[in-house]
Structure 1
Amino acid sequence: MEDVIHQRERRTGWALTIPALLMLALVFVYPIVRAFWQSFFTQNLGTQLQSEFSGFANLARMAQDGRFWQSLGNSAVFTVFSVLLEFILGLGIALVLNQTFKGRGIVRTIAILPWALPTALIALAWTWIFNDQYGVVNDILLRLGIIQTGINWLGNPTLAMVSVIVADVWKTTPFISILLLAGLQSIPSDLYEAQAIDGATPWQSFQ
């Protein structure tokens, strides 16, 4: 009887999961496969209507292009620092929201707001924030006396990378914190109580 119930639950789980997997394949997998397949073809929109198969010629030319490696390096730096900061900050926020305090529901709602806002709108807002002439960041630094003249945050490659990372961390950290909070809340409270009785420190309980 238990085997029948287990098989039924498994079928129900797959029935609920397959639509989501198909949607992910449609949204993410298909465009990637399509773009990779098109990389084997060459088409000049000014002189020809049909694309011609060129094999690995496009990939070979791309491998010799310095702009490709520069873009790859920028993407790697952005990904490493963004993910690391988002995880650290998200974990800290999740640990705070996992505690019991008055108004916790309201705080959780406010914490997720940056993730809920439209990305295009947030990108435009951060562009204004980092503007070298009337941006909020320069205004605050000037008022505090940290800088004497406005900094062109988006005109310098290094500062532009820092600015983009800051904007992405602000946008994505709430989502990471909610995911980690869901994992923390799935841990039974009995385990924490048993560890407290055994004399475990908060750090040991966290580990």
Structure 2
Amino acid sequence: MSRTRRAAAVSFRGRGWARAAVLIPWAIPTVVTSRMFGWIFDGQSGVAHYLLTRLHLTDGYIDFLGDPHTALPTIGLADVWKTTPFMALLVLAALQTVPKELGESAKIDGASPWRAFRSLTLPVIAPALLIAALIRVLDAFRVFDLPYVLTGGGPADSTETLSTFGYKTLFSGLELGYGSMIATAAFLTEVLIAAGFASYLSRRYRALEG
């Protein structure tokens, strides 16, 4: 295959617009996302309840954000919808760094697509995947906007996070010492998580270089 045809195989008209459209959920402010999902999963007039009823998957009232069993999964779904495009962009950037010669060599050697991905592509993009995982873990650990706007930490504290708990303690309860301790603990925990990822990444790089 010629170089021109190779380029055409990985490129298409409107590629930049497609990437920009994919990033729209990530670019939307979190408060707007929260209000949108609050409307979608409203138990009485929400789109989700309407679709489930029309598909005969439920015949009763489902309070997605008012039930302790469904509130946290609903917030998780909103968080995944918002952050997945950014993670996908990081993974795409990592995949574009994989030399095409690796795939061609694997085909010549008779390796299956799965074997080529597992043995060649995955080790190359593993550091980028770990960095993406680190960003995502830290972002999920300190999440505040979604649970605060959608449920306020309820019902029955089922969606309470360390950030919302610290905010309520510090600003609503005016327990300055306790609230400051919670904020400090959250910061130190994130530092430990980042240090763990950094240590593992450094070992991976040393192994690849060796």
Give the TM-score, by structure 2 length. Answer: 0.49
Q: Which has the larger radius of gyration?
A: 1
